[in-house]
Amino acid sequence: QESSSVEFNCTFKTDEYGFFLYWKAEGKEGQVLEISTVNDVRPGAQAKDGKVLLDDKSIEELESDDKGPIDDRSITVVSAEDMVNLSIMYMVADDAKTAMTWREGIRGLLHNYKANNVCPMTQFQKHWMRLSLQVSPSGKIPVRSITRTFASGKTEKMVFQSLKDLGLPNGKNDEIEPADFTFEKFFELYKKICPRTDIDDLFHKLNGGKEYLTVDQIIKFLNEQQRDPRLNEILFPFFDRKRVVALIQKYEVDPEFTKKEWMSVEGFTRYLMSDENAPVFLDRLEEYQDMDQPLCHYYINSSHNTYLTGRQFGGKSSVEIYRQVLLAGCRCVELDCWDGKGEDQEPIITHGKAMCTDVLFKDVIHAIAETAFEASDYPVILSFENHCCKAQQYKLAKYCDEIFGDLLLKEPLEDYVLEEGKDLPPPNALKRKILIKNKRLKPEMEKKQLELFWKGEGNLEVEEEEHSESECFLLSGENGVSSPSEDGNPQEFKFNKSNSSSDIQEEGKNGSLKNKKVEMLEEEQAMAMAQYQYQGATTNVHPWLSSMVNYAQPVKFAGFDVAEDRNIHHNMSSFNESACLGYLKTSAIEFVNYNKRQMSRIYPKGARVDSSNYMPQIFWNAGCQMVALNYQTPDLSMQLNQGKFEYNGKCGYLLKPEFMRRPDKTFDPFAESPVDGVIAATIEVEVISGQFLSDKKVGTYVEVEMYGLPTDTIRKEFKTKTIPANGLNPQYNEEPFVFRKVVLPDLATLRFAVYDENNKLIGQRVLPLDGLQAGYRHVGLRTESNFPMSLPCLFCNINLMTYVPDGLGEFVDALNNPMQYLSQLEKRAMAMKAMGIDEKDIADVPASSGKKDKKAANGKSPATPSSSLGVDGKDGKAKTPTKVSIESLKQEKQYIKLIKKQTKEMNGLKKRHDKEKAVMQKAQSSVVDKMVAAHQKEKQSVEKNLEKAKKKNGTNAAELESKLKSLVENHDAKVKEIVATQTKDFSELVAKCSKEEHEVKEGHFKQQCDVLKQLMKVAHEQQTKQITTIHEK
């Protein structure tokens, strides 16, 4: 969609935060474009139709000022809320320099991952700013714009009354001065119309009915409810008084409360809606992963049949979508290359004989060159499906060489040679490089043919092409393989001309569209699909194109054993989803191991003519790197893909979990029990309320889903009740949805989806569990195309815990802190003894579980020394000796170096001890697990027999009841006995570890004393020398 109107003498501005691009023409309303929706700014006015941009009169008017050609003074602003439907605006500046300044300025604001993840409070500020910018011709804010904000849940009358209470104009046709409508006024208006009773309830639950929270109450809340208990206490320290006072000073609005170190419900609300209370750790949104691992150790954001904007059959091809996909962070795009049939014999990109329109290969290469590294500097992989004759393959190579230039990686890197057993290079080594994935000739054949070609002796005539159906099925034939026709030749489509028209959009060199028509009846489509014979990619490769292929060399997949024996890391294979699922079913572990060494690409099966997507999660579970999806289809699969790749700076590469990279680890993607070295988790999600979910008075409900390993995936099971006729601020207050056992949290994602009463998706959000924060959080929603929505969000309470099998909670508490557990028992036993109670009179009963004590750990590293033991002043004269304290000696480099070494040694020891404890805990838990499982099985069998006996009025019912009672008592006794034994063993291990740590600390203390003595001796010698110097003078 291009601008259809022309406005002269516009004043363009951006706000101070870079949220909006806004403009106003004389006598017209102000208009706003949110910069987070802008994905590209290009030089010139690249209109699809020149008439759309300007008519002849407008051109004359603009060119009459002698300020240069319009194209030099223009910029094209492209915005979108999905991959296909774009909005294009053209700006014409007074001169070329101004146009360039604006182009670079806007471009600097694009691809900002932080702008897509702002907190609710910032979203309110953005919305207030939008209202303030969308002024009437008189420069004021229309009241009707404000009423539209709250239209989904409240009547206009209530909005008018609230405006009146705030002393603002409140008539339907009134207007407000922007200076009077401050953000504080807007936020007060929000609180009047949409009171946050959910936050009020939480506030009063925490403070015991008072009007404020104390520092201690806030510390308790932040440490017990807002913190993941599994986090390392050193890397993620507990909140202390200092940090909480800083929060009060930042968010509390009442000066008296701030002075008394109290927090009101207003300050509490502002904190809960701030960036400091985001649902994920914000550093996960930055580039935080190690980017120096081999390429096969990463998931790579990938696109299938990138050129299509719609269906796979009879669909339209586009150059523009390559730009959009790359700007969205995709790092692997597909190019189906075919011989051009025109006089110029220019190779084209299209979907074979599937009646899709085509675009020029050359235009696509230009688009890729311009946008490949706008959103990310990491390598782009071009997946060629090459159906061209050698003559046109030469053009493919020529355009890649000329247009890409140094961006194209034509030779392997020196440190990463193409030899057996050699690792692939890491993304860091391939920054701003384009790799080609295409069939490559054997080295000796390529060398020979290349020499002949450069000598002008190569034969570039159109040759009979070789096709390997089996190879194409697994390698390049990325749309499925049908059986051959009777004569063995590919069949053409035949249509009834009287029943078909055309609407094919061909993009030419300048991006202009030529309209043709292609519409087919459903019966004809079905018939055509039945006739469709997929034509495999050519294996007869031009040597120049072949020489450009290096780290992504596709080969026919011959089996996992063969690939392991060959051990060639730069070889890769492509699998359609059906074939891949087949291999996962028969050889899942082998597939994971294959992906540790080399790359695989997965693509949709040919039957998906509607461009629907498969579920990518099962292929990520196996470590497949390029899980290619139809980007033009904003379905659940694409939402999971976009949500996953939003992490790590949205750079298009995500490091796989360690156990999917290390050759010494074995991983089964269908595992149902905890993976070695990975702690399973329990997740509880309570959906409390929603805000601004819809601008209509509709009923809404929320679904919460988990995607991960098959055993972790839970869909369509957890759903809130529907709240009728309130899209503004529905209160759900559901019981927590419990995901009891998440075996592999590193691979799992949590998805929130909000639907209206007609089951239409309103908004959704995908959050990877790695980086999810616990506690009361606001979850901002996205559109189905994963673009941020302005105000819609959910208020939830998320609890993250270590998974504990049923019946073992008390046992785990005892193992976590056996000394405390035993000391409490001993103290109580002694207290009872003091009161004259004999120990043998105390019965053994199960202990009730209580909350574990939590202590803040505040480690401090030694400060960097700022002074030395020197004796001379700046003028070279001797100074009077200064007193040397023990603290000043501890600032010396020698002592600091020792402390660092000792700290490292102690940390290593503690790490070893932790491992020993974990191993013992795991072994002990396993023993109890087996015992409990065996008991449950036997108990169920006896209970079943007892039930049958009771139904038959059998005489052995009493005997079975006795047996059941005895079985339970014996089991309890055995559990107590083994728990006591295990607790004793664990206590001994803890005592042994404590003794070792004590001995090491003693040794460290002696070393510290020795170094301090030595430093003191040096200082004494220097002072003696100094005094001697003074006396001599």
For residue range 920-942, list pLDDT tens digits in order: 888 887 887 788 888 888 888 88
Three-state DSSP at 499 gives: helix
Q: Give yes or no for a contact between 871 and 881, defined as CB atoms under 8 angstroms apart.
A: yes
The predicted model scores a pTM of 0.73
Taking Cα atoms as reference points, which of 1030, 1000, 1027, 979 lies closest to residue 903?
A: 1000
| Residue 639: partners with Cβ closer than 8 Å, 6 or more residues away | 751, 764, 766, 782, 784, 786
| Known binding residues for Ca(2+) | 305, 334, 336, 385
Dmax over CA atoms of the chain, in Å, equals 119
Mean pLDDT of 773-791: 94
Q: Give yes or no for a contact between 181 and 175, defined as CB atoms under 8 angstroms apart.
A: no
The per-residue pLDDT for 387 is 93
Mean pLDDT of 47-75: 63
Domain definitions of the chain by residue range: 11-110, 195-277, 295-483+532-659, 681-802, 886-1032
Mean pLDDT of 119-123: 93
Mean pLDDT of 987-1004: 86
Burial (CB count <10 Å: 0-12, 13-18, 19+), residue 500: middle
- State pLDDT tens for residues 884-918: 888 788 888 888 888 888 888 888 888 888 888 87
- Write the CA distances from 675 to 98, 260, 655, 680, integer angstroms: 59, 50, 18, 8
Taking Cα atoms as reference points, which of 866, 895, 896, 867 lies closest to residue 879?
A: 867
CA distance 812 to 798: 22
Strand pairing partners for 298? 655
Would the pLDDT of 520 be above 60?
A: no
Mean pLDDT of 283-305: 96
Sign of the C-alpha dihedral, residues 360, 630, 527, 575? positive
Through-space distance between the first and last CA atoms of the chain, rounded to whole angstroms: 90
CA distance 960 to 398: 86
| Residue 327: partners with Cβ closer than 8 Å, 6 or more residues away | 39, 40, 111, 371, 374, 375
CA distance 1015 to 1022: 11
Mean pLDDT of 371-379: 96
Indicate the residue type of 674: P
Given its phi and psi angles, is residue 405 left (phi above 0), alpha (psi -120 to 50 degrees) or beta? left
The per-residue pLDDT for 674 is 79
Listed range (53-62, 189-198, 762-771) with the worst mean pLDDT? 53-62
Would the pLDDT of 578 be above 60?
A: yes
Annotated catalytic residue 366:
no
CA distance 982 to 963: 28
Percent of the chain whose pLDDT exceeds 70: 81
Q: How far is CA 314 from the centre of its chain?
A: 34
Residue written as token pair 């714009």: 145
Listed range (211-225, 396-410, 492-506, 843-857) with the worst mean pLDDT? 492-506
CA distance 155 to 150: 8
CA distance 917 to 401: 59
Mean pLDDT of 487-498: 35
CATH T-level fold of 295-483+532-659: TIM Barrel (3.20.20)
What the block records as the tokens of 817 is: 């802190």
Listed range (58-62, 375-379, 550-554) with the worst mean pLDDT? 58-62
Q: How confident is the model at residue 153 (pLDDT cuts 50, 70, 90)?
A: low
The per-residue pLDDT for 589 is 94
Would the pLDDT of 1017 be above 50?
A: yes
Q: How confident is the model at residue 256 (pLDDT cuts 50, 70, 90)?
A: very high
Three-state DSSP at 932 gives: helix
Mean pLDDT of 572-580: 94
Residue written as token pair 């109890």: 928
Mean pLDDT of 65-84: 83
What the block records as the tokens of 572 is: 């890769």
Higher-scoring residue by pLDDT: 56, 923: 923
The per-residue pLDDT for 235 is 87
- Write the CA distances from 926 to 305, 514, 674, 804, 847, integer angstroms: 49, 70, 12, 12, 21
Q: What is the DSSP annotation of 862-912? A: PPPP------B-TTSPBPPPPP--HHHHTTSHHHHHHHHHHHHHHHHHHHH
Question: What phi, psi does 702 have (nearest 5°)?
Answer: -125, 135
Three-state DSSP at 241 gives: helix
CA distance 605 to 612: 10
The per-residue pLDDT for 850 is 42
Would the pLDDT of 995 be above 90?
A: no
DSSP state of 410: -
Residue written as token pair 């019966």: 523
Strand pairing partners for 41? 77
β-pairing, 681-691 vs 737-742, is antiparallel
Taking Cα atoms as reference points, which of 587, 567, 748, 593 lies closest to residue 662?
A: 593
Annotated catalytic residue 127:
no
What the block records as the tokens of 976 is: 């107590």
Would the pLDDT of 785 be above 70?
A: yes
Q: How confident is the model at residue 61 (pLDDT cuts 50, 70, 90)?
A: low
- State pLDDT tens for residues 394-414: 999 999 999 999 999 999 999
Strand pairing partners for 300? 626, 653
Strands in 664-770 per DSSP E: 681-691, 700-707, 714-719, 737-742, 749-756, 761-768
The per-residue pLDDT for 875 is 45
Among the ranges 456-465, 469-478, 572-581, which has the highest mean pLDDT value? 572-581
What element of type H or E holds 870? none
Taking Cα atoms as reference points, which of 708, 693, 705, 700 lies closest to residue 725?
A: 700
- State pLDDT tens for residues 591-646: 999 999 999 999 999 889 889 999 999 999 999 999 999 999 999 999 999 999 99
Would the pLDDT of 685 be above 80?
A: yes
By residue count, the chain amounts to: 1033
Q: What is the dihedral of CA 800, 801, 805, 810, to 10 degrees?
A: -140
- CATH number for the region 11-110 comes to 2.30.29.240
Long-range contacts of 96-99 (CB under 8 A, 24+ apart): 96/68, 96/72, 98/73, 99/43, 99/72, 99/73, 99/74, 99/75
| C-beta neighbour count of 241 within 10 angstroms | 13
CA distance 679 to 769: 13
The per-residue pLDDT for 64 is 58
What the block records as the tokens of 87 is: 């909005």
Residue written as token pair 């207050």: 733
Architecture of domain 195-277 in CATH?
Orthogonal Bundle (1.10)
The per-residue pLDDT for 116 is 83
The per-residue pLDDT for 678 is 87
Q: Give yes or no for a contact between 218 and 251, defined as CB atoms under 8 angstroms apart.
A: no
Architecture of domain 681-802 in CATH?
Sandwich (2.60)
Q: What is the dihedral of CA 204, 209, 214, 217, to 10 degrees?
A: -60
Mean pLDDT of 201-227: 93
Task: Return the ∠ at Cα 556 (arms to 550 and 557), rounded to 5°.
Answer: 110
The per-residue pLDDT for 808 is 62
Percent of the chain whose pLDDT exceeds 90: 50
- Write the CA distances from 101 to 62, 70, 316, 676, integer angstroms: 20, 16, 36, 56
Burial (CB count <10 Å: 0-12, 13-18, 19+), residue 633: buried
Write down the catalytic residue from 111, 127, 351, 778: 351
Mean pLDDT of 139-167: 84
What the block records as the tokens of 751 is: 């998805």
β-pairing, 348-349 vs 359-360, is antiparallel
What the block records as the tokens of 518 is: 């292609």
The per-residue pLDDT for 4 is 58
Given its phi and psi angles, is residue 212 left (phi above 0), alpha (psi -120 to 50 degrees) or beta? beta
- State pLDDT tens for residues 324-361: 999 999 999 999 999 998 788 899 999 887 778 999 99
Would the pLDDT of 856 be above 50?
A: no
DSSP state of 5: -
Q: How confident is the model at residue 837 (pLDDT cuts 50, 70, 90)?
A: low
CA distance 33 to 380: 30
Sign of the C-alpha dihedral, residues 550, 556, 557, 562? negative
CA distance 853 to 621: 37
| Known binding residues | 305, 334, 336, 385
The per-residue pLDDT for 516 is 38
The per-residue pLDDT for 292 is 97
The per-residue pLDDT for 845 is 54
Q: How confident is the model at residue 47 (pLDDT cuts 50, 70, 90)?
A: low
CA distance 746 to 655: 11
Indicate the residue type of 413: L
Write down the catalytic residue from 111, 127, 304, 542: 304
Q: How confident is the model at residue 842 (pLDDT cuts 50, 70, 90)?
A: low
Higher-scoring residue by pLDDT: 198, 967: 198
